[in-house]
Structure 1
Amino acid sequence: MQRIQYHRYGGPDVMRLEDYELPALGRQEILVRVKAASINPLDWKLRQGFMKLMMGRRFPRAMGMDFAGVVEAIGPGVTGFAPGDDVLGQVPMMKPGAFAEAAITTQDLIIHKPAALSFPAAATLPTVGVTAWRALIDGGRLKAGQSLFINGAAGGVGQAATAIAKTLGAVITVRVGPSSLASFADMGMARVLDYTQALPENLKGTFDVVFDCHGGLTSAEEDFLTKRSGIAVDIDPTVGNVFRSLISSRHNFVRGVLSTSILQKIVDLALAGQFTIPINRIVSLSEAIALISDLEAGNRLPGKSVILMG
């Protein structure tokens, strides 16, 4: 079997496609034959050493969190899953490895994949769907009829947030790059703004919830946009964002920790045709290192990129 892994923290040049062997399954662990995996910025940030103090220096380390696949074997104590089940979810953050032909996860990180949902589509959902849900529902407490500003709406989390907000009946303003303006103009948004342009002065104090999907807003810009009774939500784990959430009731920092109950709600929305993450590129495992390097360099398209296993 092969997977993408690295033998030291660093840039794209440390990635290797190599043979590997998985250990025996422990309690509540599940071996999954990966069919598709989606790429998130966190994948290369972990490889860069973003959490190296927690993850340590035991190498090689594998890459990839989000996947969809088929259960191949179950360890002691596993309930609710059996070999042959189609599933989607994540591998543990401290033990990545979804960019692989097979991976080990735990039963609290996966749910059953409906037959109507393809493996590539299912693989796009876990991180972006759960993160957007937690940001809007838990962090922003968004309700029907409220005004929402989404900064960076064309990315995976932004697309997910837009879909969730539409199901809630929010009044949505999005800020995207020039290449995405036309597509969002056809989606029924209240306003579609170009992020290369300054924020219009007439937006001061306009929004009940401001969601910055990629850290592009300054704290001053968030305060400018948010009503006095509103709240700004960040998911970029900077010291500033975490600190502001501790000292201000108008700022919330949200972590996209997987919840299978939330993921199931996202899947239900997808089955109802209310939640779709566009797939911008699909590559094989042998082509994935080049794609990850390209994404890391900033060459991104709306939606998500997927690795399809042979």
Structure 2
Amino acid sequence: MTEQMPAVAYRHNLPVSDPASLEDLVLPVPVPDPRDLLVRVEAVSVNPVDTKVRANVAPDGTPRVLGFDAAGVVTATGAGVTLFQPGDEVYYAGSIARPGTNSRFHLVDERIVGHKPRSLGFADAAALPLTTITAWETLFDRFRLGPDSEGTLLVLGGAGGVGSMAIQLARATTRLTVIATASRPESRQWVEGLGAHHVIGHHDLVRELGPIAPHGIDYVISPNTTDAFGAFAEILRPGGQITAIDEPQGLDLLSLKSKSITFHWEFMFTRPLFGGPDMIAQHRLLDQVADLVERGVVRSTATTTLSPINATTLRQAHSMVETGRMIGKVVVTA
């Protein structure tokens, strides 16, 4: 008889207030392919991508399990696995092309998995992977920064998940001056605690940045890019760079041309989706960040922990994320 497990899925695009927007169900425990780990999931976190997929990507009535961030314990491995063994504690962000982490057991390719930081519990570790990968790839793959890099980095949405990690990684691994946006007193306090050199409001970037960076900004990380290109064209130095992690509507980059500003996309699922020899870069970067955590220079961004992993709790977590006012990350434990 096939072993079964509890999971949470959606069948139709519904508002999170609808009890059917996420449902409890029972599924077979999956069997690892050659490079897969079978992980017993101990904690997950909810990201904006979870809510966007639930609301906009139709599963055509077939249950789709969501969830990307996870921390747990390896219980079995595929025949070709070389990086992990049963009993290892891991953390990772999974792939948008495979069933999600909102289940008791989950399959994930070992090449996008890191060893969980030893000093963190599963809940604190589960808050990190997706936003860590996004921030890391932005700083080091898109902007090509290094330990001697100088200049000014503007992190929009500094109190969010990606912003919180970008601030910490930039401070820990570069010589950049980090400026972050945050509007509420509690979000400003959070961003300052993560190490931002300056905190500003986001409503008038040109005015706010004038006294701080009179010669312009070198790099911008933007989670909300729609209608922002006019401001970006003013605040960036010639040759500056932008990385967007959202899907801006009506994209028009012409205002950036006169300063030869470079525009990048960052989508942390690119490597899991397309594979290739550099897919293992996500394994390596997660292990590097685990080391930064152990050294005390990067900390978890978990701010809210709920339990257990079921439809009711995950609807609550989705609702929190959909407000757009989250500070840090919401985590759900088994």
TM-score (norm 2): 0.82
- Match among 7, 11, 23 for residue 7 of structure 1: 11
1:177 lines up with 2:220 in the alignment: no
Report the secondary structure of 1:268's partner residue: helix
Q: Which moved more, 1:201-210 or 1:129-138?
A: 201-210
CA distance in structure 2 between the aligned counterparts of 1:253 and 1:114, rounded to whole angstroms: 29
Query: Do the aligned partners of 2:217 and 2:236 also contact (CA within 8 Å) in 1?
Result: yes
Alpha-carbon distance in 2 for matches of 1:47, 1:131: 21
Which whole-Å CA distance do the structure 1 matches of 2:302 and 2:264 have between them?
Answer: 29
CA distance in 2, matches of 1:108, 1:304: 24
Q: 1:256 to 1:241 in 2, by over 3 A?
A: farther
Match of 2:276 in 1: none
**Which runs of structure 2 are paired with 1:209-228 in the superposition (5 Å)?**
209-215=219-225, 218-228=228-238
Cα–Cα, structure 1 residues 159 and 298, in superposed 2: closer, same or farther, change >3 Å? Answer: same
> Which amino acid counterpart does residue 21 of structure 1 have in structure 2?
P
What whole-Å deviation, never above 9, does each CA across 1:93-114 have from its counterpart, x for those lacking one?
1123212221111222212224
1:229 aligns with one of 230, 233, 239 = 239
Q: Deviations over 1:136-177 (max 9, x none)?
A: 222223453311111100001001000011121211111112
Equivalent residues, number: 304
Q: Which amino acid aligns with 2:235?
A: L
Kindly report which structure 2 residues correspond to 1:189-268, keeping only aligned pairs within 5 A, or say none: 189-196=196-203, 199-200=206-207, 202=210, 206-215=216-225, 218-238=228-248, 249-257=261-269, 259-268=282-291
Letter aligned with residue 218 of structure 1: A
1-structure distance, mates of 2:28, 2:181: 45
Query: How far apart, in 1, do the equivalents of 2:302 and 2:30 lie?
Result: 32
TM-score (norm 1): 0.87
Cα distance in 2 between the residues matched to 1:81 and 1:186: 35
Aligned to 2:237, what secondary structure does the other structure show?
strand
Q: Structure 2 vs 1, CA of residues 68 and 106 (structure 1 numbering), >3 Å: closer, same or farther?
A: same
Larger deviation, residues 73-82 vs 247-256: 247-256
By how many angstroms is 1:195 displaced?
2.4
Match of 1:272 in 2: 295
The residue type paired with residue 6 of structure 1 is Y
Residues 242/7 of structure 1: CA separation in 2 closer, same or farther (3 Å cut): farther
Look up the SS of the partner of 1:255 in the other structure: coil
**Cα–Cα, structure 1 residues 135 and 241, in superposed 2: closer, same or farther, change >3 Å?**
farther
Please, which of 125, 130, 141 is the counterpart of residue 127 of structure 1? 130
CA distance in 1, matches of 2:297, 2:224: 23
Q: Percent identity?
A: 27
Q: Structure 2 regions of 5+ residues with no counterpart?
A: 272-281
Relative to structure 2, which stretch is displaced further, 36-45 or 75-84? 75-84
Q: Distance in 2 between matches of 1:164 and 1:207?
A: 18
Match of 2:28, SS state, is coil
Q: 1:105 aligns with which of 73, 84, 108?
A: 108
Change (3 A) 1:190 1:114: closer
Work out the CA distance in 1 between the residues paired with 2:195 and 2:119: 27
Alignment RMSD, CA only? 2.6
Q: Is the 8 A contact 2:8 2:23 kept in 1?
A: yes
1:30 aligned onto 2:37: yes
**Alpha-carbon separation, structure 2, partners of 1:186 and 1:31:** 36
CA contact (8 A) 2:70 2:101 kept: yes
Deviates more, 1:70-79 or 1:232-241: 232-241
Indicate the residue corresponding to 2:78 in structure 1: 75
User: Where does residue 314 of structure 2 map in the other structure?
Assistant: 289
Following TM superposition, by how much is the alpha carbon of 1:31 offset from its aligned partner in structure 2, in angstroms? 1.4
**What displacement does 1:29 show?**
2.2
Alpha-carbon offset, residue 261 of structure 1: 1.6
Q: Helix, strand or coil: the match of 1:19? A: strand
Moved more, 127-136 or 97-106: 97-106
Q: Partner amino acid for 2:327?
A: P
